[in-house]
Amino acid sequence: MFKRKRSLFLLAIVFRFILLPIGLLVFLYYYLQFDPPEIKDFSVLKLERDTISENHYSIGNNWIRKNSYGLWEMYIEGDAFERGVIQGKLSKELVCLQEDAFVGQIDALIPSRTYQRFLQLFIAWFNRDLNQYVPEEYLKEIYGVSFSASDEYSHIGPKYLRILNYHAAHDIGHALKDLNLVACTSFAVWNGKSSDSTLLVGRNFDMYLGQDFAKDKIVAFINPTKGYRFAHITWGGMVGAVSGINEKGLTVTINAGRSDVPTGVKTPVSLVVREVLQYAENIEEAYQIIEKRELFVSESFLVSSVADNKAVVIERSPEKMGLYEVDTNFIVCSNHFQSAVFANDSLSKKAAEEGSSLSRYKRLNQLLNKYSSLTVQNAIDILRDRNGLDDQELGLGSERAMNQLLGHHSIVFKPEKGMFWISTKPWQLGPYVAYDLQRVFSGNFVVPYIDSLIIKHDPFEGSQAYKNYKKYLFQKEAIQRSLWFESTDTISNTYIDAFVKTNILNPVVYVLSGDVYEQKGNHKAAVEYYSRSLNYTMGTARERKEVNNKIRAIEKQLMN
């Protein structure tokens, strides 16, 4: 009897801890995959790219080239699957590099392979119905791109599913909002507030997925068989859009809003922006497209339109939608909602009160009010601003600043002229390169950009403060890795002192130093550094609260 019971017990153990998890993984692997869209003609896959020169390739009328400022410029035409395949073939190295950067950042944020596997399964489960919320046109385009995806990440999933899921990265950044992955700011001016009385739009896209993520920006010019021609700023493998302008003079940029933890996937925001750029001529048409798509996060869409001679903010949550308009000649957008529909929305209020959104909103209004009317140079100066309210000097990289020194790109549009200026590395500090939409689509150019209209780099790039900031980023990441792996014994007091000096006004240097000392068991030093951090302007009220909680926890521990 005893042997029988022991055998049953062992069988139960084997089933619970070995067979059941394996069975669950097998079930999830097969259940959570769906077929790519049906394609009738695969002949485009036979096309091969021609090398024109170093970093310059073409396939028929399509081309990609890297300019002297480090930007990749790309022109794509055709139907959905054709566009995707050609984009993938032309930018194959960039598609692979971008996935390397994306996966590398996940490794940095979540070094544990066990947690990574859990995250992989969670995202697969969460996104199991993603294809049902994406227009078939874009499914085909994404499928086309996926043929050029890397072979190195088959353990994560099939190429098509990986590229499709990456399109929800901006949205997933909402769910990871405590990591400060998304904190964007935008504005538009018109009539008397613009130097030539036409629309002028500026935005910083501050989505941070590691320094490598922003290295290879693509300025893409798309000529689809259906809809309007448009340009947007993107990266390898990305079909969706986050900042763009179409041939009708309509621009769209997006800012993340505070969201509840989503319970299921809907349409990725970047693909909604893409649809607006391709099919909307004015604000009403943009509103209708945004209204018909279901989102799983909250988002503000700043839409400017030459046809309407103004800009508005279309605010959308998973449950409701609002339109924010002004009776002045400028509009400002950060990361909280402003329309009457969301006046009593608790999540939006929380974003304003606890985050950096309200601070950046007020600072942007201050900067706009410094000018009676704005030029392109003025708009770029605003986007490069590193100070806080009332010109307070902040630690470099502060979330309260317009220029957080971490963004993927910064851009200024002149919609009536079909022109835009895009930032070059590093961040907003490099030159802003000018493009004319009609000039590029006409093919009448030697180089796509307009050299005479380039805005010069920010002199701050050559300063000692900037050199120190680069050291700060390197040492910050090193300390964070040591904290994660509990290997802070290798960090000396001298190293901590040097780290603090790299960014002395930023409370992060004191908080991380406190974390190191606390992990080492030096509670007194930990409290000292945590307390010092409170003397400086925190990025958010939430961060200040967390530091105070750390101090109280240590003091309580010392009393026991």
CATH number of 359's domain? 3.60.60.10
pLDDT per position as a tens digit, 294-314: 998 899 999 999 999 999 999
The domain that holds 527 is classified in CATH as: 1.25.40
Range 126-142 average pLDDT = 90
pLDDT number for residue 210: 65
Range 444-456 average pLDDT = 91
Identify the bridge partners of residue 51 per DSSP, sorted by sequence position.
Answer: 57
Of 462, 478, 499, the residue that ends a domain is: 462
Report the alpha-carbon distance of residue 78 to residue 222 in Å, rounded.
Answer: 9
Range 118-122 average pLDDT = 67
Q: What is the count of structural domains for the chain?
A: 3
Mean pLDDT of the chain: 89
Residues 456 and 471 in one domain: no
The region of weakest confidence among 196-200, 304-308, 441-445 is: 441-445
Report the alpha-carbon distance of residue 394 to residue 2 in Å, rounded.
Answer: 71
Of 428, 462, 496, the residue that ends a domain is: 462
DSSP for residue 457: P
Report the alpha-carbon distance of residue 63 to residue 74 in Å, rounded.
Answer: 6
- In-domain check, residue 36: no
Residues 478 and 425 in one domain: no
- In-domain check, residue 322: yes
Letter for the amino acid at 33?
Q
Range of the domain at 444: 56-462
Residues 246 and 209 in one domain: yes
Residues 154 and 230 in one domain: yes
- In-domain check, residue 495: yes
Of 437, 462, 487, the residue that ends a domain is: 462
Residues 383 and 529 in one domain: no
pLDDT per position as a tens digit, 503-515: 999 999 999 999 9
Residues 203 and 287 in one domain: yes
- In-domain check, residue 47: no
Report the alpha-carbon distance of residue 362 to residue 369 in Å, rounded.
Answer: 11
Range 473-487 average pLDDT = 92
Q: Is 195 helix (H, G, I), strand (E, B) or coil?
A: coil
Residues 388 and 476 in one domain: no
Range 174-197 average pLDDT = 78
The verdict on pTM exceeding 0.75 is yes
Pairing state of beta strands 200-205 and 218-224?
Answer: unpaired
If we measure between CA atoms, which residue out of 276, 305, 112, 270 comes closest to residue 184? 270
pLDDT number for residue 547: 96
- In-domain check, residue 40: no
Pairing state of beta strands 321-324 and 419-423?
Answer: unpaired
pLDDT per position as a tens digit, 485-537: 889 999 999 999 999 999 999 999 999 999 999 999 999 999 999 999 999 99
- In-domain check, residue 128: yes
Res. 19: pLDDT tops 50: no
**What are the residues whose beta carbons fall under 8 Å from the beta carbon of 38, sequence distance 6 or more?**
none
Residues 252 and 384 in one domain: yes
User: Please, are residues 291 and 321 in contact by the beta-carbon 8 Å criterion?
Assistant: yes
- In-domain check, residue 549: yes
The region of weakest confidence among 23-32, 157-166, 246-255, 346-355 is: 23-32
Residues 452 and 481 in one domain: no
- In-domain check, residue 302: yes
Letter for the amino acid at 285?
E
Of 114 and 441, the structure prediction assigns the larger pLDDT to 441
Res. 5: pLDDT tops 50: no
Report the alpha-carbon distance of residue 504 to residue 498 in Å, rounded.
Answer: 10
Residues 235 and 98 in one domain: yes
Residues 454 and 474 in one domain: no
Angle (CA) 88-89-90 rounded to 5° is 95
Residues 133 and 173 in one domain: yes
